[in-house]
Structure 1
Amino acid sequence: MRWDRAVLFKLATNERLEQIVKELPGGEEQAWRAASRYVAGRTRDEALQVAEAQQALGHGVSIDLFGELSIDAADADRVVDEYLELAKLTTAWLSLDLSHLAVDVDPAGAADRVVRIAEALPAGRRLQIGAEDIGRTDRIRDCVLTVAGRGLGDQLGATVQANLKRSPDDIDALAEAGVQVRLVKGAYVEPAGAHPYGEATDVAYLRLAHQLAERGADWSLATHDGRLREAVLLALGNVPVEQLLGIRPEVLAQLHEREIATRVYVPYGPAWFRYWLRRVAESRGA
């Protein structure tokens, strides 16, 4: 991994940096101008407008409200209320990080909150659970499987990171539960339990893609690596492709013309700063 990418990932978790930038004269607006390429807006209405525009282009959408590291039940319940509103106001899929639902301090409560959101979605729509750092992977998988075990597997998606050495086992468990899998390379800089960034992760990605296909799983490619994407499409056929808002939209248009299903991740909310830094970090070799 290039050193500048690792440094940027470190900065992306630094609350003090965000505070300093926002306190500088004009700092927040300058940062927002750069971030707005990747972020649908600061409000729900702005996100819905962007989602509708993407749908008009023929792309599916998955909407995510920024937020991580909640340890307060009342705050987590407010997040659920926002997602229930989204479920009513859009036909898009929804995306969510479980740390936003206080999974670190109340795993059972987080599962109950996921159930509430999933039950609000009509057939054909899913709540996609995001990947987080490796220290949360067990809690995330357990929560997803718990909710799937309540008869909601076909309302859920889970994100699997190819760089994690545990991912083959996770894929087996998720596919068995009927959970859709969004396969990503993995954006977190992990201390252990992960393949090095580069060739080893790319090979792991290809192996996991074939594993998903062999299991007959419902899954999607979620990578901006064009060579890797095309290798999978050539080998396995027209697998749905997911991309982040603002990154190579021309590729989505080309895939749509090839009649390959596409979906755009559309994030919004006031906590946009560190997400933007992660996107910048990923651009350094992602």
Structure 2
Amino acid sequence: MEALSRNFFLYLSKNKSLNKMAKRYGLKFGASKVVGGIDFDRTVSVIKNLNNRGLCTTVDHLGEFVNSVDETRERTAQEIHTIQTIAKEKLDAQTSVKLTSLGLDIDHHLVFENMRNILTEAQKHGVFVTIDMEDEVRCQGTLDIFKGLKTEFDNVGTVIQSYLYRSRDDINDLKKLLPNLRLVKGAYKESADVAYPDKKDVDDNLKQMIKDHLTNGNYTAVASHDDQIINFTKQFAEENNISRDLFEFQMLYGMRTQTQLDLVKQGYKMRVYVPYGNDWYGYFMRRLAERPANVAFVAKGMFRS
């Protein structure tokens, strides 16, 4: 049943007609519970509230698969505005970007130029930028661009997904760059040719990735709502005398809020992933696909005043 639910919402996430309708109606149907606002200026108050509770953040301007050069330039300018606002408002925030919104599917030179402009501005203001990982067909292209940028900028990281067979090899390949990596399970529908079909294998691979990356001595963001993964990370770090300064936990805005606050009380760094923008539909559907509990959470929000 869980697999059917996941496949259903992943199927819906790619429906262009529903995505168009979602933009028209704004943050309806429970999306406001997991999306900070329709633009960054209206998301600032959400971030300040999280910061005041001891939670740091990373923000993501929702939208992907851009096919217009002009639109990639517009998205770049919006990202720079976000970075400038983070600095102006003194927010405890980083940013996350999807390369398909900056031209990955158009031209690698274009996306590299857009990222250089973003990272230059971010470096000026001391803001860290994470390149989000998308589906498997774009994985190698994303890593190639990350490697190129990492030779020039220290304020950039990326994401490795444990449901892909290749991921431990990718961590090993990247370790010479001393990368800051966000480690996740992954939220796209992939073929069994490239990804583990069974949840246990995905979980086991994530644990191995956490061990690999922490053992390499590189900064690790463990992005999971799974108590098993969180407890594994705590125990591994304690048993191997790994400083809490070398890792953090990350969770999605609106999900497991009490657990987030509990981790802060326990002395761990806890970063909340706060998406914003009117192109929220695909993101929202993938969140519903990840965990059946998310569907019940959103259903309650829809009917609560």
TM range (shorter): over 0.9
Structure 1 equivalent of residue 189 of structure 2 = 189
Structure 2 equivalent of residue 221 of structure 1 = 222
Tell whether 2:291 aligns with 1:283: yes
Tell whether 2:46 aligns with 1:50: yes
| Alpha-carbon shift at residue 175 of structure 1 (Å) | 2.9
| Alpha-carbon shift at residue 21 of structure 1 (Å) | 6.5
| Alpha-carbon shift at residue 125 of structure 1 (Å) | 2.8
Helix, strand or coil at the partner of 1:120: helix
Structure 2 equivalent of residue 273 of structure 1 = 281
Helix, strand or coil at the partner of 2:272: strand
- The residue type paired with residue 177 of structure 1 is L
* Deviation string, structure 1 residues 245-266 (Cα, Å, up to 9, x no partner): 0000101100000010010111
- The residue type paired with residue 145 of structure 2 is C
State how far apart, in whole Å, the 2-side matches of 1:244 and 1:197 are: 23
| Alpha-carbon shift at residue 277 of structure 1 (Å) | 1.4
- Residues 101-140 of structure 1 mapped to structure 2, 5 A cutoff: 101-122=102-123, 125-140=127-142
Structure 2 equivalent of residue 13 of structure 1 = 14
State how far apart, in whole Å, the 1-side matches of 2:12 and 2:29 are: 19
- The residue type paired with residue 257 of structure 2 is P
The count of corresponding residues between Structure 1 and Structure 2 is 279
State how far apart, in whole Å, the 1-side matches of 2:174 and 2:53 are: 31
Structure 1 equivalent of residue 263 of structure 2 = 255
State how far apart, in whole Å, the 2-side matches of 1:82 and 1:139 are: 23
State how far apart, in whole Å, the 2-side matches of 1:59 and 1:22 are: 29
Q: What TM-score do you get using the length of structure 1 for normalisation?
A: 0.92
State how far apart, in whole Å, the 2-side matches of 1:38 and 1:222 are: 16
CA contact (8 A) 1:2 1:285 kept: no
CA contact (8 A) 1:64 1:95 kept: yes
State how far apart, in whole Å, the 2-side matches of 1:55 and 1:175 are: 31
* Deviation string, structure 1 residues 169-196 (Cα, Å, up to 9, x no partner): 2212333223210000111110121112
CA contact (8 A) 1:39 1:272 kept: yes
State how far apart, in whole Å, the 1-side matches of 2:122 and 2:106 are: 26
- The residue type paired with residue 139 of structure 1 is G
CA contact (8 A) 1:131 1:159 kept: yes
Tell whether 2:40 aligns with 1:38: no
4+ aligned runs moved over 3 Å, structure 1? 18-23
CA contact (8 A) 2:75 2:101 kept: yes
Q: What TM-score do you get using the length of structure 2 for normalisation?
A: 0.86
Structure 1 equivalent of residue 200 of structure 2 = 199
CA contact (8 A) 2:133 2:139 kept: yes
CA contact (8 A) 1:174 1:180 kept: no
Helix, strand or coil at the partner of 2:63: coil
- Judged with a 3 Å threshold, the aligned counterparts in structure 2 of structure 1 residues 161 and 64 are, in CA distance, closer, same or farther, namely same
Structure 2 equivalent of residue 169 of structure 1 = 169
CA RMSD of aligned residues (A): 1.8
| Alpha-carbon shift at residue 197 of structure 1 (Å) | 3.5
Structure 1 equivalent of residue 254 of structure 2 = 246
CA contact (8 A) 1:4 1:284 kept: yes
State how far apart, in whole Å, the 2-side matches of 1:285 and 1:236 are: 29
Structure 2 equivalent of residue 64 of structure 1 = 60
CA contact (8 A) 2:63 2:101 kept: yes
Unaligned runs of 5+ in 2: 239-243, 295-305
State how far apart, in whole Å, the 2-side matches of 1:249 and 1:166 are: 32
| Alpha-carbon shift at residue 280 of structure 1 (Å) | 1.2
Identity %: 25
Structure 2 equivalent of residue 99 of structure 1 = 100
CA contact (8 A) 1:160 1:167 kept: yes
- Judged with a 3 Å threshold, the aligned counterparts in structure 2 of structure 1 residues 157 and 16 are, in CA distance, closer, same or farther, namely same
- Judged with a 3 Å threshold, the aligned counterparts in structure 2 of structure 1 residues 22 and 168 are, in CA distance, closer, same or farther, namely closer
| Alpha-carbon shift at residue 272 of structure 1 (Å) | 1.1
Unaligned runs of 5+ in 1: none
| Alpha-carbon shift at residue 48 of structure 1 (Å) | 1.5
- The residue type paired with residue 112 of structure 2 is A
- The residue type paired with residue 19 of structure 2 is E
| Alpha-carbon shift at residue 274 of structure 1 (Å) | 2.1
- Judged with a 3 Å threshold, the aligned counterparts in structure 2 of structure 1 residues 173 and 283 are, in CA distance, closer, same or farther, namely same
| Alpha-carbon shift at residue 20 of structure 1 (Å) | 5.7
